[in-house]
């Protein structure tokens, strides 16, 4: 159909790109989805352009292409194109019409022209085949009244013949613009809110807040907070369930091998680990701490730390620690405290504390 070809050409003009290869149609399908949020395959577009398959193009495809151009439907597009074409084909200067053009455009004259007075006005339209015989037999001028009646019943077409074509805004376009304006207002409003209300954690229940300085009599007492048990080979170091590389650690202050050194008066703002064992060669200790350094650096762990013998014989919660990359090296590992409390109901926030 000529209308389909016109529609395809209009789309190419709108995107300023000639559709000729498959990549063009894939690109166009994406552009259509971005503008209209309607899915259409590039193969369907190639069929509409006549590159592949049947020449029959579904109405849904034509409607989507019309929506992309801002029309309500394909019928809306075709009607407006027909109106514009008709306007372009009608001369604007009546005095310069030939007799043949006057006869062809007789039904396009504005409603205020009286066809019966064309002779007085110097216009001599050529009679149509349907009116020639009555005129020859002496028929009255009223034989042209049906044409005049038709003109008066469609002033919209008459006006379009003598005035520039002004296409009113498409309702679909207005709707899209309204949605865009609303979205912009929402984004602006949300941005203003975000500037004045920084992202915060959900409301917390103080009963589930673990704070620095709280003490526990045994492994079992603090491990139960995290759904863990002491009935394992190494109860002092266990991974936090469902959280990769977060360790629940219960160490001993001034450990004879690993150190766990730091300022006890502030409950260890930093904790230093090293390896020392007089029963083994010094080279073994160097290897142990070097490997420990690289493992901790690579894993980017967080350590939920409880320390025994820091204040008394109980396990005191010191906070959440991460490796200090500036202070650590292959001879010792320094852990720095990055949080002094934990919301046991929202452990996912710990992920924000990593290096």
Q: Give the per-residue pLDDT at 268.
A: 96
pTM above 0.85, yes or no: no
Q: Give the per-residue pLDDT at 134.
A: 42
pLDDT digits (tens, 9 = 90+) for 69-123: 999 898 888 888 888 877 665 554 444 444 455 455 444 444 444 444 444 444 4
Question: Is 283 inside any structural domain?
Answer: yes
Q: Answer yes or no: do 235 and 321 share one domain.
A: yes
Question: What is the DSSP track for 242-285?
Answer: TSTTEEEEEEETTBTTTEEE--GGGT-SEEEE----TTS-HHHH
Share of the chain above pLDDT 70, in %: 72
Q: Give the per-residue pLDDT at 195.
A: 64
Q: Give the per-residue pLDDT at 352.
A: 92
Q: Answer yes or no: do 265 and 336 share one domain.
A: yes
Structural domain that includes position 46: 2-87
218: phi then psi, degrees, rounded to nearest 5: -150, 175
The number of folded domains in the chain is 3
Q: Give the per-residue pLDDT at 119.
A: 40
Q: Give the per-residue pLDDT at 267.
A: 95
Q: How far apart are CA 126 and CA 104, in angstroms?
A: 9
Segment 283-297 mean pLDDT: 88
Q: How far apart are CA 183 and CA 268, in angstroms?
A: 50
Question: Is 174 inside any structural domain?
Answer: yes
Q: Give the per-residue pLDDT at 286.
A: 87
Q: Is 162 exposed, middle or buried (0-12, 13-18, 19+ CB in 10 A)?
A: middle
Question: What is the DSSP track for 166-180?
Answer: -PPPPHHHHHHHHHH
Reply yes or no on whether the pLDDT at 339 is more than 90: yes
More confident residue, 229 or 154: 229
Q: Answer yes or no: do 254 and 221 share one domain.
A: yes
Residue in the structure block whose two tokens are 């004879």: 256
CA dihedral 221, 224, 225, 227 (to 10 degrees): 170
CA Rg value for the chain: 42
Please state which of the ranges 19-33, 45-59, 135-149, 154-168 shows the lowest mean pLDDT.
Answer: 135-149
Please state which of the ranges 106-120, 185-199, 210-224 shows the lowest mean pLDDT.
Answer: 106-120
CA neighbor of 272 nearest in space, from 234, 315, 327: 327
Computed over every residue of the chain, the mean pLDDT equals: 79
Q: pLDDT confidence of 321, banded at 50, 70, 90?
A: very high
| Residue 257 near residue 277, CB atoms below 8 Å | yes
Question: Is 214 inside any structural domain?
Answer: yes
Q: Is 194 exposed, middle or buried (0-12, 13-18, 19+ CB in 10 A)?
A: exposed
Q: pLDDT confidence of 283, banded at 50, 70, 90?
A: confident
Question: Is 122 inside any structural domain?
Answer: no
Residue at which a domain ends, from 63, 87, 111: 87
Question: Is 305 inside any structural domain?
Answer: yes
Q: Give the per-residue pLDDT at 151.
A: 44
Choose from 171-185, 268-282, 301-315 the range with maximum mean pLDDT: 301-315
Q: Give the per-residue pLDDT at 274.
A: 87
Question: Is 259 inside any structural domain?
Answer: yes
pLDDT digits (tens, 9 = 90+) for 24-78: 999 999 999 989 888 898 888 988 888 876 667 888 899 999 999 999 898 888 8
Q: Answer yes or no: do 288 and 248 share one domain.
A: yes
Q: Answer yes or no: do 174 and 58 share one domain.
A: no
| Residue 353 near residue 338, CB atoms below 8 Å | yes
Question: Is 107 inside any structural domain?
Answer: no
Question: Is 125 inside any structural domain?
Answer: no
| Residue 344 near residue 240, CB atoms below 8 Å | no
Q: Answer yes or no: do 192 and 217 share one domain.
A: no
């Amino acid at each position: 159909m000529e209308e389909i070809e016109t529609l395809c050409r209009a789309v190419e003009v709108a995107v300023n790109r000639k559709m000729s290869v498959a990549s063009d149609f894939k690109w166009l399908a994406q552009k259509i989805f971005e503008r209209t949020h309607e899915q259409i395959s590039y193969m369907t577009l190639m069929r509409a352009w006549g590159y592949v398959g049947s020449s029959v193009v579904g109405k849904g495809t034509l409607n989507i292409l019309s929506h992309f151009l801002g029309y309500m439907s394909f019928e809306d597009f075709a009607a407006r194109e027909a109106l514009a074409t008709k306007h372009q084909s009608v001369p604007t200067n009546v005095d310069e019409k030939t007799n043949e053009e006057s006869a062809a455009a007789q039904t396009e004259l504005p409603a205020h022209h009286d066809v019966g007075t064309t002779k007085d006005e110097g216009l001599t339209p050529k009679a149509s085949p349907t009116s020639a015989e009555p005129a020859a037999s002496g028929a009255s001028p009223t034989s042209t009244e049906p044409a005049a009646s038709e003109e008066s019943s469609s002033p919209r077409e008459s006006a379009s013949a003598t005035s520039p074509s002004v296409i009113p805004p498409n309702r679909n376009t207005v709707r899209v613009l309204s949605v865009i304006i609303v979205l912009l207002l929402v984004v602006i409003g949300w941005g203003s809110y975000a500037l004045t209300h920084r992202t915060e954690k959900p409301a917390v229940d103080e009963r589930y807040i673990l704070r620095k300085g709280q003490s526990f009599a045994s492994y079992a007492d603090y491990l139960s907070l995290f759904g863990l048990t002491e009935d394992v080979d190494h109860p002092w170091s266990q991974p936090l369930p469902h959280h990769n590389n977060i360790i629940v650690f219960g160490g001993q202050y001034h450990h004879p091998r690993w150190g766990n050194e730091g300022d006890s008066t502030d409950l260890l703002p930093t904790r230093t680990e090293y390896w020392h064992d007089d029963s083994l060669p010094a080279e073994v200790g160097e290897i142990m701490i070097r490997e420990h350094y690289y493992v901790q650096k690579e894993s980017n762990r967080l350590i939920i730390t409880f320390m025994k013998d820091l204040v008394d014989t109980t396990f005191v919660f010191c906070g959440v620690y991460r490796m200090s990359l500036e202070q650590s090296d292959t001879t010792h590992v320094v852990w720095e405290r990055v949080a002094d409390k934990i919301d046991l109901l929202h452990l996912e926030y710990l992920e924000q504390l990593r290096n």
